[in-house]
A and B are shown apart, each in its own frame.
Chain A
Amino acid sequence: AQSVSQHNHHVILSEAASLELGCNYSYGGTVNLFWYVQYPGQHLQLLLKYFSGDPLVKGIKGFEAEFIKSKFSFNLRKPSVQWSDTAEYFCAVNAEGGGNKLTFGTGTQLKVEL
């Protein structure tokens, strides 16, 4: 069974700082990868996804993620964060041939200070 690890549980940054949130998964086969964001009081929203092709994926709101197959990683990045990026970020995986269920990491709570 697949699993997902997000090592940073809480991250505090100042506005304009660069962001990188780690995500590692364990699964030997082909996977599809996702980052979701949950703003305070709101539902999870899809930031970006990787199914195949270019391993550098661009998402909404200036976010991007890079799939590095050899490292089983899918880290989320943003060059310059804004106060409005304060939210909880979840990495998720589903395995090809494993149905459509998502396996989530435990989430990273990001706080951006002015």
Chain B
Amino acid sequence: NAGVMQNPRHLVRRRGQEARLRCSPMKGHSHVYWYRQLPEEGLKFMVYLQKENIIDESGMPKERFSAEFPKEGPSILRIQQVVRGDSAAYFCASSPPGREHQPQHFGDGTRLSIL
């Protein structure tokens, strides 16, 4: 199954540590999106990337959060100096190149827990 792969599925960090979440898009997809789902809320857009470019980061918190999608390898969502409020499910989605508004395919998510 060549779906969107996210790892790890579960990640536990202590306050102040760094969290790295990885996402490999579906084969042939060059657009990657990250969303965050807080308890009892819907998914919130964070960032949209294409290879080596950040296209839209309007949903990213201004501090501690960064994302990249290098030429080779998976997309990485990095959270520095984590706090309790970062506990959430983080979902990655991908879509193929071409015209805008292709449907996005989602991964299983990474559940981040901050102790």
Contacts and interface: CB of A to CB of B under 8 A. Distances in A.
Interface residues of A, number: 25
Contact of B104 (A51, A96, A102, A106): A102
Interface stretch (B12-20, B67-75, B76-84, B105-113): B105-113
Interface stretch (A13-21, A36-44, A62-70, A75-83): A36-44
B106 A36 contact: yes
Given A44-B91, A44-B106, A99 B42 contact: no
Nearest to B92: A43
B44 A104 contact: yes
Contact of B42 (A49, A100, A105): A105
A34 B100 CA distance: 15
Contacts of B59: 101
Contacts of A96: 101
Determine which residue in A32, A34, A101, A103 has the highest number of CB atoms from chain B within 10 A of its CB, and name it: A101
A50 B3 CA distance: 23
Interface of B: 3-4, 31, 33, 35, 40-45, 48, 55-56, 58-59, 91, 93, 95, 100-109
